[in-house]
Chain A
Amino acid sequence: MLKKKGWFTLLSLILTVSVVLAGCGGNNNNAAKSNTGNTGTTENTATKTDDSKETKELTFMYRGGTDEQAAYKKVVEKFEADHPNVKVKIIVTAADQYATKLKASITGKSIPDVFYFESGDLKAYVNSGVLLDLNSYIEANKDINLDNIWKYGVDLYRYDGTMAGQGNIYGMPKDVGPFALGYNKTMFEKAGIPLPDKDKPYTWDEFVKVAQQLTVDTTGDGKPDQYGTGFNVQWALQAFVWSNGADWIDSTKTKVTIDDPKFAEALQYMADLQNKYKVTPSTEQAQTLDTYQRWMKGEMAFFPVGPWDMSTYETLPFDYDLIPYPAGSTGKSATWTGSLGIGASAKTKYPEEAVALIDYLTASKEGMEALVKAKVQIPNLIDMATEWAADTSTKPANKEEFLQIVNDYGRVLPGHYTYNAEWYNLFFTDIQPVIDGKVTAADYVKSEQPKMQKLLDKAIEQEEKSKK
């Protein structure tokens, strides 16, 4: 057991971090201030040497797995080489500690100049004056061509004071993460089942039928060793709910709409995959990790694939490809597209340089090429992405599906539009009995809606207050 003064520690942590961060930012010389107009460009070697005397220091806080950290570090070094008068101080954390660290630095009023942030936190950060309005800088920067960047990605970081998704730009997408559906091609071929069509999604019934055919007991011990699928409800339910024409929240983003019968139908379908159709491992047999492992071992026919999986999946012992998610009553596929933003602090001393760094990381050819080569993301630049997807020689062949999701049928997770995502998270906190088949979806949505609504009301109230 711990023997720490937990909450003291928590609070002193905030202070410690703030002291440390304040120490980092205080070293800039005054002379640099007079020179802000002259950067973000690399054309003049003569001014380069002049500027190098007056170093402008930016702090850049980001997160990621080891591969990703290294890839981004390299790009930042390249940026420094191109901008000799700018020095970038890197603060990097593991993914799970990032949010705490960022919020502590905000509370401690020493916000890094450039930092990652969740698109869902956009409203809060704009309302409290944390994020710099990038609009004028982006317009002035001729290196940034917004038409060549995913509209979906950029729109996530627009906010007009009332609704996210429109208005001025407060961040640029670090990347977009379409959550596609993959299938084990080798398994299909072995079983002699026709391959799924990459342009025509399965209906729900078809999906169950195929999954049932592929759920087999190969060892004869009475338990299947190969399953149709194994979805994690938290990341896969969206595809079923949306394609059935339902959603968690209404268009005004003020009402929780999970009590829609179409919603219940989608949730029930997902629970039935496990309990009625038995095409997934049961809860006893599987945690998320296990379905992931089963997929990797080639024991699962369908499994979600994100761009971040590509480097790992390269060594899979089977061939896989991407298809659209099975479509519900709307007849259309749906899924979500994640994203993480890069923004600048409203209090940064060097806004031009900060935006230049953001541009380099998110919208420049040089930066993007390096990141795509490291296989940590799909390209932000549309022309580059199209070229990337056209190459069908690397796995998965149908990379085009990723781009279709971003361009066409991918949506943002429902928590994005609200001040916080507590109400949405509660849905998944309480969901286990439905997945286990102990509570029907219809009963669940009925009992859960008021609880979620209460939290949503609170978030709305909080938002109103933050606007003052």
Chain B
Amino acid sequence: MTTSNLYRKEKIYGFLFILAPLLGLIIFTLYPMLYSIYGSLTDWDGLGQMSFIGLSNFTDLFTDELFHKAVFNTLFMMLGIPIGITLALLLALGLNRGARGTTTFRVIYYVPVISSLAAVSIMWNWAYNGDYGLVNQFLDLFGISGPNWMANKYTVKPALIIMAVWKGLGYTMLLYLAALQSVSRTYYEAAELDGANGFQSFRHITWPMVRPVTFFIVVTNIIGGSQIFTEMNIMTPTGGPEYASASVVFYIWQKAFGSFQMGYASAMAVVLGAFIFVVTLIQFRMNEKSSFDVD
């Protein structure tokens, strides 16, 4: 007898402990994922009929103008990521100085994060209203007559970006704030002794030190941004003027649940999944290469 009874029992218990999440993963993630990969090779209508048609769903994607538009829109709206990161970092730097009212500001910036996305979308839809909207009324104070944000194909995407940045700002800011607070004072003191100015200590201490957080934010935001859906579903239920605000997931949803083309929708989902996977992989590689230790 090499293993004791207790040890063997422990193994079983251990296995039982991971069983629940593992089953969850298999049933709710792995199985649907494999099923949708299979579905992407068929002409499945989501109701019953499902026959194998090879890769023709994928080749159709090359000539599908609406799909190209949706991809473009999705990528365009990711412009919000660098904007959000810059603003959040600036805010975090400001709040990190420990001025009075820091907690209040933290709460103010965090409120949108915990608000329901659907409610926020409805609220912003009103704010963007061309006639009575808060945004245009505000612009009016400066004598600018604002556009009808959601009905104009040039303004609808920027409008969505502004909203997404506003919604995500608090979360990103909080992450940065935590990262900034964990940077040891000694580095700054040493830099000061060496005569570094504010910008230099930011450039050579702060920025590298919060790098893992930046990396995390970029990765999660790209993953999230690729799947943006709720905002346009609520604010522009038909995909916006000339499909200018439709995202890839929005198009997938329309095809799957509106037009009985579950197979085609699955093909797009597979492409989107592969895209996210590859981008994330590249980012991880880049991060490994350029990471360094201060010690």
Interface SS of chain A: helix, strand, loop or mixed?
helix
A428 at interface by CB-CB < 8 Å? yes
Q: Give the complex CA separation of A8 and B24 in angstroms.
A: 12
Q: Give the complex CA separation of A419 and B233 in angstroms.
A: 23
Of residues 38 to 75 in B, which have CB atoms within 8 Å of A's CB atoms? Answer: 43, 45-49, 51, 65
Contact between A287 and B258 (Cβ–Cβ < 8 Å)?
Answer: no
Closest to A420 in B: B259
Q: Size of chain B's interface in residues, with CB distance under 8 A?
A: 65
Contact between A8 and B32 (Cβ–Cβ < 8 Å)?
Answer: yes
Contact between B220 and A3 (Cβ–Cβ < 8 Å)?
Answer: yes
Contact between B47 and A130 (Cβ–Cβ < 8 Å)?
Answer: yes
Interface string of B231-252 (1 = CB under 8 A from A): 0011001110111000001001
Contact between B228 and A2 (Cβ–Cβ < 8 Å)?
Answer: yes
Known: A124-B47, A129-B48. A7 touches B28 (CB 8 A): no
Contact between A1 and B47 (Cβ–Cβ < 8 Å)?
Answer: no
Residues of B within 8 A of A290 (CB): 129-132
Contact between A106 and B253 (Cβ–Cβ < 8 Å)?
Answer: no
Interface SS of chain B: helix, strand, loop or mixed?
helix
Q: Give the complex CA separation of A181 and B90 in angstroms.
A: 55
The listed residue (A125, A286, A433, A459) touching B130 by CB distance below 8 A is: A286
Contact between B227 and A432 (Cβ–Cβ < 8 Å)?
Answer: no
Q: Which of A7, A12, A130, A433 lies at the interface centre, i.e. has the most chain B CB atoms within 10 A of its CB?
A: A7
Q: Which of A1, A2, A7 lies at the interface centre, i.e. has the most chain B CB atoms within 10 A of its CB?
A: A1
Contact between A286 and B242 (Cβ–Cβ < 8 Å)?
Answer: no
Contact between A7 and B259 (Cβ–Cβ < 8 Å)?
Answer: no
Closest to B234 in A: A96
Of residues 242 to 295 in A, which have CB atoms within 8 Å of B's CB atoms? Answer: 281, 283-287, 289-290, 293
Known: A1-B167, A12-B32, A290-B129. A7 touches B153 (CB 8 A): no
State how many angstroms separate the Cβ of A350 from the closest Cβ of chain B.
22
Contact between B45 and A1 (Cβ–Cβ < 8 Å)?
Answer: no
State how many angstroms separate the Cβ of A12 from the closest Cβ of chain B.
4
Of residues 205 to 235 in B, which have CB atoms within 8 Å of A's CB atoms? Answer: 220-221, 223-230, 233-234
Contact between A100 and B260 (Cβ–Cβ < 8 Å)?
Answer: no
Of residues 236 to 281 in B, which have CB atoms within 8 Å of A's CB atoms? Answer: 237-239, 241-243, 249, 252-253, 256-262, 269, 272-273
Contact between B35 and A465 (Cβ–Cβ < 8 Å)?
Answer: no
Contact between B237 and A96 (Cβ–Cβ < 8 Å)?
Answer: yes
Interface-lining segment among B3-11, B144-152, B176-184, B285-293: B144-152
Contact between A6 and B229 (Cβ–Cβ < 8 Å)?
Answer: yes
Known: A7-B227, A124-B45, A284-B147. A103 touches B36 (CB 8 A): no
Interface string of A88-110 (1 = CB under 8 A from B): 00000000100110011011000
A10 at interface by CB-CB < 8 Å? yes
B29 at interface by CB-CB < 8 Å? yes
The listed residue (A2, A99, A128) touching B258 by CB distance below 8 A is: A99
Contact between B151 and A287 (Cβ–Cβ < 8 Å)?
Answer: yes
State how many angstroms separate the Cβ of B276 from the closest Cβ of chain A.
9
Known: A287-B151, A420-B258. A430 touches B249 (CB 8 A): no
Contact between B150 and A4 (Cβ–Cβ < 8 Å)?
Answer: no
Q: Size of chain A's interface in residues, with CB distance under 8 A?
A: 52
Contact between B32 and A14 (Cβ–Cβ < 8 Å)?
Answer: yes
A11 at interface by CB-CB < 8 Å? yes
A148 at interface by CB-CB < 8 Å? no
Known: A285-B131, A429-B238. A107 touches B32 (CB 8 A): no
Contact between B47 and A425 (Cβ–Cβ < 8 Å)?
Answer: no
Residues of B within 8 A of A190 (CB): none
Known: A1-B164, A2-B230, A420-B258. A7 touches B252 (CB 8 A): yes
B190 at interface by CB-CB < 8 Å? no
B81 at interface by CB-CB < 8 Å? yes
The listed residue (A15, A293, A468) touching B28 by CB distance below 8 A is: A15
Contact between B80 and A1 (Cβ–Cβ < 8 Å)?
Answer: yes
B33 at interface by CB-CB < 8 Å? yes
A366 at interface by CB-CB < 8 Å? no
Closest to B35 in A: A11
A466 at interface by CB-CB < 8 Å? yes
Residues of B within 8 A of A462 (CB): 43, 45, 260-261
Q: Which of B29, B49, B239 lies at the interface centre, i.e. has the most chain A CB atoms within 10 A of its CB?
A: B49
Residues of B within 8 A of A421 (CB): 258-259
Q: Give the complex CA separation of A96 and B220 in angstroms.
A: 28
The listed residue (B168, B256, B260) touching A419 by CB distance below 8 A is: B260
State how many angstroms separate the Cβ of B266 from the closest Cβ of chain A.
9
Closest to A288 in B: B151
The listed residue (B80, B81, B150) touching A287 by CB distance below 8 A is: B150
* 19 A-B pairs in the complex with CB atoms less than 8 angstroms apart: A1-B221, A1-B225, A2-B230, A4-B224, A5-B29, A7-B36, A7-B273, A10-B253, A11-B35, A15-B32, A125-B47, A128-B48, A284-B145, A284-B148, A286-B131, A289-B129, A429-B242, A462-B260, A466-B45
The chain A residues found within 8 Å of chain B, CB to CB, are 1-8, 10-12, 14-16, 96, 99-100, 103-104, 106-107, 124-125, 128-130, 234, 281, 283-287, 289-290, 293, 419-422, 425, 428-430, 432-433, 451, 459, 462, 465-466, 468
